[in-house]
Structure 1
């Protein structure tokens, strides 16, 4: 059986990493937290020109998606810390992940709180979350949504944990796959599609 992918999608500073850390403490089964920031941190520290940067970032994200798919295909449960801020990212994930084994969680936060967190962190470009705000949730379909404006990361993790045993079908990923990738053969509920 493939592993379950808990796919946390939200803007920068929305609280995804904090929720993921709490999930690792609260869920009974073993999970791996695979944040995309860890993949960016593996890259060499040499200066990358503005002309090169988009291609480097795209290759990094593509590799990240394939690493997550590989971990899940090997039977590992994975918590994904993601930002669906570019149009190609969701279709790429829909092709790679077994849609029946993904729980898509929308992580929301108010613009005012995002701005406050960004300033407090000091490690993100000013206005990054605001720039991502509309695009990240544009696909509009989730299995579950949480709002970290007022709810703690632990509360959100508990909400996700309580949802897992009764997750409905079709999943959000199955519905999105049908809507956005209609030409793809639907993988069986027991398989993970890898390309």
Structure 2
């Protein structure tokens, strides 16, 4: 039995995690909520050693993301449903994930956030490189084709309801549906 995948895509600090937690609590099937932040915050990555210069993140980033993406497909192949947060800031990732996710029902959601709100959230979080949210703002949604686009100016409850209605409809029109 293959799992189902809901991808929440948007800039850093746009509200993907908040939306994912609320969605996970509302959806009628068991879904894992998975993101890079979980790996970083859970101690999987040697973040402290990246920060002190023992290891160079740039040298390890490609292998990390290839492994992360392959693990997502493996989870879904085993029958696990995923709510996945991601920022497609590398042009190679989308084709890679489209290939890996070909056997699965993928619902692709774009989460938009105003630039000023992103900047404020980024500063308030304190765990992001200042400027990354603005860089994402100008690039991550370019040429993307989603099943649904939501804005963080709507309430989380409203956005979750919209995601659930779209996901339940079975209608898929995103670039994951058009292989």
Alignment pair present for 1:82 and 2:86: yes
Give the equivalent residue in structure 2 for 1:43.
Answer: 45
How much does 1:139 deviate? 2.8
How much does 1:157 deviate? 1.4
Q: 2:165 aligns to what SS in structure 1?
A: helix
Alignment pair present for 1:120 and 2:120: no
Greater CA drift, 29-38 or 97-106: 97-106
CA distance in 1, matches of 2:132, 2:110: 18
Long gaps (5+) in structure 2: none
CA distance in 1, matches of 2:89, 2:111: 13
Greater CA drift, 7-16 or 121-130: 121-130
CA pair 60-25 structure 1, distance change in 2 beyond 3 A: same
Give the equivalent residue in structure 2 for 1:152.
Answer: 155
Aligned residues of 2:112 and 2:151 also touching (Cα < 8 A): yes
How much does 1:125 deviate? 1.4
Greater CA drift, 117-126 or 37-46: 37-46
1:158-173 equivalences in 2 (<5 Å): 158-173=161-176
Alignment pair present for 1:22 and 2:22: yes
1:30-109 equivalences in 2 (<5 Å): 30-41=30-41, 42-44=44-46, 45-47=48-50, 49=53, 52-98=56-102, 101-109=105-113
Aligned residues of 1:32 and 1:78 also touching (Cα < 8 A): yes
- Output one character per residue of 1:26-58: Cα deviation in whole Å (capped at 9) or x when no partner: 001100001111223411232364983223122
Q: Select the residue among 130, 134, 143 that pairs with 1:130.
A: 134
CA distance in 2, matches of 1:130, 1:170: 28
What is the number of equivalent residue pairs in this alignment?
175
CA distance in 1, matches of 2:75, 2:45: 20
Aligned residues of 1:5 and 1:101 also touching (Cα < 8 A): yes
Long gaps (5+) in structure 1: 178-195
CA distance in 2, matches of 1:9, 1:164: 15
Q: 1:103 aligns to what SS in structure 2?
A: strand
- Output one character per residue of 1:89-145: Cα deviation in whole Å (capped at 9) or x when no partner: 111111111265110000100101111111211211111111112221123200001
Q: 1:80 aligns to what SS in structure 2?
A: strand
Aligned-CA RMSD value: 1.9
CA distance in 2, matches of 1:115, 1:169: 32
